[in-house]
Amino acid sequence: MSTLSDLVYAQGRASEADVEWLHRLVGDGQLLADLAFADIVVWVPTADDSFIAVAHTRPSGAATLFYRDIVGDRVRPQWRTQIRDAFRDARIVDSASPDWFEETPTRVRAVPIVRAAATAEDPAQVIGVLTRHTNLGETRTPSRQQITFNACADELFEMVASAEFPDLDAPTSPRRGAPRASDGLIRLDVGGMVTFASPNALSAFGRMGFDDELEGESLVEVITRILPDKQEFDETLPVVASGRAPWRTDMEARGVAVSLRAIPLRDRGTRIGAIVLCRDVTEIRHQEQELITKDATIREIHHRVKNNLQTVASLLRIQARRTHSDEAREALTQAMRRVSAIAVVHDTLSEGLAQNVDFDEVFDRVLKLVAEVAAAPSTRAQTHKTGRFGTLPSEYATPLALALTELVTNAVEHGLAGKEGIVEIDASRSEDRLAVRVRDSGVGLPEGQVGRGLGTQIVRTLIQGELGGTIDWHTIVGSGTEVTIDIPLRYIQRASGS
């Protein structure tokens, strides 16, 4: 399915500022749908003076009218005139009589979406139309909460038509734990006094220790009485609780955490009150804290593994220096290098929260290690890396780092033995594969000697056995050796859970 940006840009009539405004409005589409107890559809004009739906939000507290997604559909004939008039005249247009949609009576309201002026050269303008589709088939005597919700929706629709909603001063925040209308809604007047509090809002404040009625109280004073003495709190809390700024903050009392979001209500630039949404996020905060603790524990484990591996590498290095046999010294040096390569991966994992690693960073560090350790005094090797590996899950970063360590080491020690030359490593990544080419400018290996050594066997085991990839050696006497590795990314993505 096309994204909102794709659909809007495809019409050839919108700027980046228009798309950003529509994204912010659609981000609050669920709030508008829940307050209006109706489906909310956003339309933008097309090149042939029609309209196309670019977003649709269904209400969570009422039956939807559209059981099939209409995003990407052109406007239906029965709505075209109403939407066109709202767009052309920059005014809210209500249907004169009930509109029948699939044998269901509905009421349609068309609201022009007006974007605020960005600069003097870019004045406010109508960039689309929002329609509210109310199901009249389920009409019943509205409750006080429904009346209040509808009134809040109407005020927000007026703000949409006057370029006052969405509010660009409202910072974008993570959706996890964001309060919704159904979680708890408090209506404030211009002085910050509570004129309505939904049952869920009362329950949230009751769990924090406030047992009285909220209506008729100053929300700022209520929160002041709830918060424990000497407790530090977000300095934006009073501003949010008074409804003066479109911000979001958290408060905590008696072990209960509540998230608050304020939406100032304005009438042609004059503040007339506010909506404060509240949600009990205690369990969410506990889960987040547990995740943070687990992440810290995992990072500490990686750090300790790295330290232990570096200790093992140091012991191998000391043992190699005290060994009189050249063959034993070489074996210990190679083992030390392999252990050090694994330590680099764990060191990288210990620095971040994710269990994925930027393999380019890992390999750059491994490359320096190999070039310094593998080169003999008579060998002057230069390593050159091109392309990008990208991000890989840790369980694949380790075998790939080891395999490339072996290949570069072989290129330096054998391909360039006693000579000056270059080892080139080229990485090429697409959507479904990772290809790596390692080539040296040495003399090449005679036929029959490729794939006989321990290092080559290790590389085959890592690439074919653990990564499910393929590896191939090409050697031309006098022109060096080239090794190509191909790893299917679908294998990596399945292992990483992506």
Residue written as token pair 């559909």: 73
Taking the C-alpha atoms of residue 43 and residue 14, their distance in angstroms, rounded to an integer, is 12
Structure tokens at 142: 């509205």
Rounded alpha-carbon distances, angstroms, from residue 440 to 202, 400, 421: 72, 19, 7
Q: Listing from the earlier edge strand, what are the strands of the sheet with 433-440?
A: 380-387, 420-429, 433-440, 480-488, 470-476
DSSP 3-state of 125: strand
Question: What is the pLDDT of the chain when averaged over all its residues?
Answer: 83
DSSP 3-state of 117: coil
Q: What is the pLDDT of residues 185-194, one digit of tens each?
A: 999 999 999 9
Q: What is the pLDDT of residues 138-167, one digit of tens each?
A: 767 789 999 999 999 999 999 999 999 998
What is the pTM for the complete model shown?
A: 0.65
Taking the C-alpha atoms of residue 93 and residue 77, their distance in angstroms, rounded to an integer, is 16
Which 3-state string (H, E, C) describes 140-178?
CCCCHHHHHHHHHHHHHHHHHHCCCCCCCCCCCCCCCCC
DSSP 3-state of 442: coil
Q: What is the pLDDT of residues 90-144, one digit of tens each?
A: 999 998 888 877 778 889 999 999 999 877 677 889 999 999 999 887 767 789 9
Q: What is the pLDDT of residues 35-76, one digit of tens each?
A: 999 999 999 999 999 999 999 999 998 888 888 889 999 999
Q: What is the pLDDT of residues 246-275, one digit of tens each?
A: 999 999 988 899 999 999 999 988 999 999
